[in-house]
Structure 1
């Protein structure tokens, strides 16, 4: 493809057409402090390829890589073992280059993969139908709120204090453009969740209640009473799962009455990758399928009676009239969805259950040891592979001090909830099957030292 730069006359004509005085006007929604007005200091405007490789390699070495140190970070992104088979299969040319199938019936392999993925997600989340994936968990969470508004014709969403603050932030941003009202609260460093607050807040204007399961502090809540209260008022229950491995041990949200279940699928088949790309999960009840965002691959037979796959439903704005669309999601995370499906297939139901058991057992062992450190309090009464501690010191500097000792010891609530002093001593620790005995020893020693 040739590079055809625009002329000044071209730019002026386009700006006149849209009513903008200058290109900078197109960025008026970006906060002033985030706009860069000059080149990055110390970064040359141009350099040779070998020099660029050396410089970028040096920058990359400043990262502390998850696989090289004791790693206890979680809060929505988890370090699990991804079998080598996953990487081998997704790098096959027919998968690696696949994009959104605009002539979908030609791409039978892609559609079959999506069909199998949907089946796995629906069973995992306890729902009747799942879509062909979303971008990530946070955008899936917002899409669920939008879907609840369309179904209920109400626009007030009640968000649990245990919902990941980054998910809350995404929802707030999108709600500015839709007029939805979001009722939020901060979590408390307590074993009890805010389930009763959610129930008490439901009224005739409520479209949905959004609950994370397990929540940002790792607490596990019985969703059934919340679901019952929602349904009594004509509202929907939206459950958010950021750690799908937990569903190998816990009852699924769909079984407890959730109407829409969304989440982040990164834990299964997708590496950490410094934050992305990830894969959003979205499932619901069959009666709501026409309000579901994204795409749905279905199974059928061709003119000769042979099994085939089709794009059964596509409610994205690129496929239908914009005013009829339920979502502006441009595509699905197809390759990550494939990785999820391969890993899930390799595990099977028994394998997922066993993986969940190992995660929970190791997390219990770590929680017991860390809670014996003087001044450290275990907040949780229940958890899967992630729990919260209250330290005798501020957690954020403690985390940095542990990094200096070569240990990634957890996520501080001060980082997730900046400017909230009542949460400053909170530390969330995640323990997966990747954590060794020596890693646990290193964490215990580092935390003891920083808490003195």
Structure 2
């Protein structure tokens, strides 16, 4: 859409209709300290469209895109190859809308797609049922915590030290409004996860234990014993999956008796896109389905016996009485869910397993190569496509130096956990099917030169 500014006479006519003497009167309720006393510093009062395009293009050229060179970033957002057919199909007119249909049964194509999406997610996560998506993985994680509170009538959640710190931050923000107590800690640069500590910490006030799988350092733990410990104390186990491709190679959380499984679906069908929009995954055991947030599409037969799809369950506050709502999530990420579903359909089960094998093989080779760099220590000997290495010096300046050379080397733990000196030398490296042998060698050579 083109930007078509109003004329001064247009503004005066509108002000006259609403009875305001000036535009400033429209902001009379905004405290003076929150108002600008002049133009934004550094911005011209006006510029031509051509000048703005040139300026914005120059700014964009400063970005280093994921495809511009060796790329090893991960930690919840992964660079995977998305087939061109995905983008082509989601741009069809009947799908290309960010809005929820308010007469959903009319949109049979949308409902069928969401039904298929739910089926794929439930099978992937190993749960009985899955909803029609959430905004993203972090908000899905919080919704799982507050869902556990409704089920158990308890208000204390144990959050694994291996849970993504951004997910922890979202949960802490929301807990301010609910009064939930969140027991959190930071990880240690060791091969062992904190499963044993979590088991020992579960008590009669615990509503749930939240554990990431694989965790923020790439570690993979067997969740079965943790699930048993939770259930022995009548608490719930919530598993968080930020890399769904991993479930093509490792046992799903649902198979290990997790009660609620949530995650980020970006890896499948959705590009990095500077951080969004993404798509949250949410599945649970069938007995908890009425406490599940979001929307649930179901299959039925119409009056003539024909197959049809309906909005079976919608627990948001706009659809039912506010006091009975389980969530204020007001829509699902429909377009991103469609991209996920198309990509998953193109892969199929065999394709997903093959993709997972490729990811793991590439990451294993990269870990072996980087471990040969003097001073580099491999922290996580068992992982999927993401692992942590420990450098002989702080990782953040090393990452910045490598970025200046065109190599995005990974995510420094000092960035994720500022102020944690014990983690400052940690670097999380992700390898996917898009990473080449040449990329790994370029990282290893450059890393050795920078550390020398």
Q: Tell whether the structures are fold-level matches, with TM greater than 0.5.
A: yes
Contact 2:145/2:157 (<8 A) preserved: yes
Question: What residue in structure 2 maps to residue 22 of structure 1?
Answer: 29
Q: Does 1:437 align with 2:437?
A: yes
How far apart are residue 39 of structure 1 and its match? Answer: 5.1
**Partner in structure 1 of residue 387 of structure 2:** 387
Cα displacement (A) at 1:9: 8.8
Residues in 1 aligned to 2:176 and 2:209: alpha-carbon distance in whole angstroms: 19
Cα gap change, 1:204 to 1:355, in 2 (>3 Å): same
1:50 lines up with 2:57 in the alignment: no
CA distance in 1, matches of 2:177, 2:162: 24
CA positional deviation for 1:429: 0.1
Q: Which residue of 2 aligns with 1:343?
A: 343
CA distance in 2, matches of 1:26, 1:295: 42
SS at match of 1:429: strand
For 1:40-439, list aligned pairs within 5 A. 40-97=40-97, 99-439=99-439
- Residue 41 of structure 1 and its aligned partner are, at CA, apart by 3.2
Decide whether aligned partners of structure 1 residues 264 and 437 sit closer, same or farther in structure 2, where only a CA change above 3 A counts.
same
Aligned residue in 2 for 1:32: none
* Paired residues of 1:157 and 1:209 also in contact (CA < 8 A): yes
2:153 and 2:23 mapped to 1: Cα distance? 42
Long gaps (5+) in structure 2? 1-9
Separation in 2 of the partners of 1:37 and 1:444? 52
- The normalised TM-score by structure 1 is 0.93
- C-alpha distance in 1, partners of 2:33/2:232? 46
Cα root mean square deviation, aligned: 2.2
**Equivalent pair of 1:387/1:428 in contact (CA under 8 Å):** yes
Equivalent residue for 1:31? none
Given that 1:98 and 1:110 are in contact with CA atoms closer than 8 Å, whether structure 2 keeps it comes out as no
Write the deviation string for residues 272-320 of structure 1: whole angstroms up to 9, x where unpaired: 0010000000000111000000000000011101000000000011111
Residue 42 of structure 1: how far off its partner (Å) = 2.1
Task: State the shift of 1:86 in Å.
Answer: 0.2
Distance 2:38 2:221 in 1: 49
Are 1:86 and 1:343, in contact at CA under 8 Å, matched by a contact in 2? yes
CA deviations on 1:172-205 (whole Å, 9 max, x unpaired) are 0000000000000010000001111111111000
- Work out the number of aligned pairs and report it: 440
Gaps of 5+ in 1: 16-20, 28-34
Deviations 1:105-158, CA, capped at 9 Å, x for gaps: 000000000000000000000000000000000000000001000000000000
Change in 2 beyond 3 A, CA 1:167/1:26: farther
- In the TM superposition, residue 23 of structure 1 has moved relative to its aligned partner by 2.2
Structure 1 residue 10: Cα displacement: 12
CA contact (8 A) 1:157 1:206 kept: yes
Contact 1:133–1:280 (CA under 8 A) maintained in structure 2: yes
| Other-structure match for 1:18 | none
Note the C-alpha offset of 1:255: 0.3
Distance 2:392 2:38 in 1: 43
| Cα separation, partners in 2 of 1:362 and 1:43, compared to 1, 3 Å | same
SS of the residue corresponding to residue 226 of structure 1 reads helix
C-alpha distance in 1 between matches for 2:156 and 2:26: 39
**Cα shift readout 1:371-420 (whole Å, capped 9, x = no counterpart):** 11111100013100000011001000000000111100000001101111
Q: CA deviation at 1:44?
A: 2.2
Change (3 A) 1:303 1:432: same
SS in 2 for 1:67: coil
What is the distance in 1 between the residues matched to 2:423 and 2:52?
42
* Shift, 1:38, TM fit: 6.7
Query: What is the alpha-carbon distance in structure 2 between the residues aligned to residue 10 and residue 130 of structure 1?
Result: 52
Question: SS at 1:41's partner residue?
Answer: coil
CA distance, structure 2, for counterparts of residue 98 and residue 451 of structure 1:
47
Q: 1:436 to 1:152 in 2, by over 3 A?
A: same
Cα distance in 2 for partners of 1:232, 1:101 equals 42
